[in-house]
Amino acid sequence: KMPEVSEVMTKADITPKSMHRAKIWSDDVENLYRFQQAGYRDEVEYKQVKQVDEVECWPETGFVKKLQRRDNTFYYYNRQRECEDKDVRKVKVYVY
């Protein structure tokens, strides 16, 4: 049996090599926007900090549904797009 990704990741393994800003909206940019609103770099950092294997997503769209901030309060997101065109360039895309 292969170990889960979260079991074999170390802090050094998940350090991004580079970062750039999103230029156009996509499903991935939408989810990054939601993680960054909640105070995380991306899904990788969220899973590491919160020690979870899965992030709750809307089945219809695949967008993140709920995130727990570092202060343990929750952010709840809609099924539809929340990252407006004017916010797309604010989203940081990390490359591992």
CB atoms within 10 A of CB 52: 12
Q: What is the CA radius of gyration of the chain?
A: 14
What are the structural domain ranges in the chain? 23-95
pLDDT score of 6: 44
pLDDT score of 15: 86
CA–CA distance, 44 with 38 (Å, rounded to integer): 13
Rounded to the nearest 5°, which phi and psi values hold at 72?
70, 10
Q: Helix, strand or coil for residue 45?
A: helix
| pLDDT tens track for 16-35 | 999 999 999 999 999 999 99
pLDDT score of 5: 46
Low-confidence residues of the chain: pLDDT under 50:
1-10, 12
CB atoms within 10 A of CB 14: 17
